[in-house]
Structure 1
Amino acid sequence: MVAYGFWIFLLSDIVMFAALFAAYAVLKSGTAGGPAGAQLFNQVTAAIETACLLVSSYTCGLMSLAIRSQRRPATYFFAAITFVLGVAFLALELREFASMIAEGATPQRSAFLSAFFALVGCHGLHVGVGLIWLIVMMAQVAFMGFRASVQRRLLCFSLFWHALDIIWVGLFTVVYLMGIIQ
């Protein structure tokens, strides 16, 4: 029952992101005379963000293997790397948002920027929640060990993290790569 409920949660999250992607696709040309993606996006930073998340997905997978074999040091090690990469991603994203806002490219400036901040910001919020979840799960491993309920929650975290990575690949492609094409 828990696994079924979690899959429903993931699917509802994907539906929400699909709606945000659709809104972005409709509003991306609505710049109201302001800057467009080509003027705002730094491809190098976006590529580094992507690398951070993709590598964190790999380390999350290694963490899942360590959990399955109940190796606590390896679990903590790969969880720590996943966490650091997630924090690096968030720091880069927040820096990007701050520089855009400093240039006057705020969500209020245009429909494009509203859609951009909603889509990318929602993903960043999910990454932040995932990082908190990871900390809580490592505390559970420390205090409760590898009980079946803890392993199930860790599997759910892993599914959530991988879903965020898949969403980011779509976001990177649609927003950052296609966003520089006028």
Structure 2
Amino acid sequence: MATQDASLAADPMIGEESLGVTNGKIGMWTFLVMDAMTFAGLLAGYARLRWTPGSEWPLPIEAFGFTGIQLTALNTFILICSSVSMVHVLAEQMRGNMDRAKKWMLATIIGGLLFLGIQGFEWTHLILDMWPYLFDEGYEAAYSVNFAATFFILTGFHGLHVSVGVIYNVIIYLGLKSGKISKDDTSVVEIAGLYWHFVDLVWILVFTFVYLI
């Protein structure tokens, strides 16, 4: 027993993996599975409200306008590109090209910030110009409060995830820049990448459900 304890003290990496998967990766996968169930519940609630008889649910083209859908499609493309750049971060880190890894991470962060900026612009436009019934109690035209509520909940909850992801990526970038994250610490970047790819995948589902169908 004493020999085993001495071995563990000499090599702190022993016991950090189970079946070849790091504890950090298992933790992130566990979180993502639970988070995916939350998004699935929100999307299911959206579908239930939308296809309830008499819901007076507007068509996306009526609610957002053609330009609004195009703008969100561009925003979706930006987020997908940031996911691609995250792949390059890990690839360059594994090759030992840390300068390139830092540049790709910076591109990922900028992509996330652009997404949030465009979403903020969209919210402002919808609230002030497109949906007057949100603040006008005397508005008499037919509208669906459930549509606005589910829209802001879904896109806002996802936007919160993007914000957390941007902060997460900034921390990784600072670690790469300072040298605290080296070419051997690929699991750190890989775990951050899992979160960012999840955020990207969920947005594709939200965009399809809310803006296209």
Into which bin does the TM-score normalised by the smaller protein fall? 0.7 to 0.9
The 3 A distance-change label for structure 1 pair 28 and 98 is farther
Q: Which digits, 9 at most, give the CA deviation of each residue in 1:38-81, with x for residues without a partner?
A: 32321110110111011111111111101212211111111111
Match of 2:128 among 102, 111, 124: 102
Q: Which has the larger radius of gyration?
A: 2
TM-score using structure 2 length: 0.75
Q: Which digits, 9 at most, give the CA deviation of each residue in 1:58-116, with x for residues without a partner?
A: 11111110121221111111111111111111111111111111133649971111111
Range moving further from structure 2, 162-171 or 25-34: 25-34
1:47 aligns with 2:73: yes
- Between the aligned partners of 2:212 and 2:57, the Cα distance in structure 1 is 19
Match of 2:92 among 28, 43, 66: 66
Range moving further from structure 2, 152-161 or 96-105: 96-105
Offset at residue 2 of structure 1 (A): 2.0
Do 2:92 and 2:100's aligned partners in 1 also have CA atoms closer than 8 Å?
A: yes
Q: Which residue of 1 aligns with 2:197?
A: 162
User: What is the count of residue pairs matched by the alignment?
Assistant: 177
- Between the aligned partners of 1:29 and 1:106, the Cα distance in structure 2 is 22
Q: Which residue of 2 aligns with 1:37?
A: 60
User: Is the helix fraction higher in 1 or 2?
Assistant: 1
Structure 1: runs of 5+ lacking an equivalent: none
Q: Which residue of 2 aligns with 1:171?
A: 206
Do 2:93 and 2:183's aligned partners in 1 also have CA atoms closer than 8 Å?
A: no
- Between the aligned partners of 1:105 and 1:34, the Cα distance in structure 2 is 14
Query: 3-state SS of the aligned residue for 1:155?
Result: helix
- Between the aligned partners of 2:210 and 2:102, the Cα distance in structure 1 is 34
Match of 1:86 among 89, 103, 112: 112
Do 2:42 and 2:154's aligned partners in 1 also have CA atoms closer than 8 Å?
A: yes
**Matched-pair identity in %:** 27
TM-score using structure 1 length: 0.87
- Between the aligned partners of 1:57 and 1:145, the Cα distance in structure 2 is 20
Do 1:56 and 1:85's aligned partners in 2 also have CA atoms closer than 8 Å?
A: yes
